[in-house]
Amino acid sequence: MVGARFNISDKAVSSWERGESVPELDKIADLAVLLKVPCTWLLKGKGAPPAPDAIQVIIEDLSASELAVITATIQALRKERSSVA
């Protein structure tokens, strides 16, 4: 599945999995989407990957406009919290 998606051999994918080599940088974002994990986990990858519905995975899949809405909401919540405290 992964090899076919990136037009590489199963041996190359196996090499990634064993930590003997790493995917080219231009494949990381597409690989993260395919595997439903955050790019940061792919790059640092310690422990089990987060669940597909984990907030890190969801955030990486947002469009720029969706991310802007979330960012504005967070800023408003922080502002409100600081004015109450």
Distance CA 36, CA 49 (A): 9
| pLDDT in the model for residue 85 | 65
Tokens for 78? 């922080």
- What is the residue extent of each domain of the chain? 2-84
Quick one: pLDDT at residue 11? 94
Which is more confident, 52 or 71? 71
- Contact, 56 vs 41, CB < 8 A? yes
Q: Which tens digit of pLDDT belongs to each residue from 22-64?
A: 888 889 989 988 888 888 888 887 778 888 788 887 888 889 9
pLDDT at 53: 83
**What is the arithmetic mean of pLDDT over 66-77?**
94
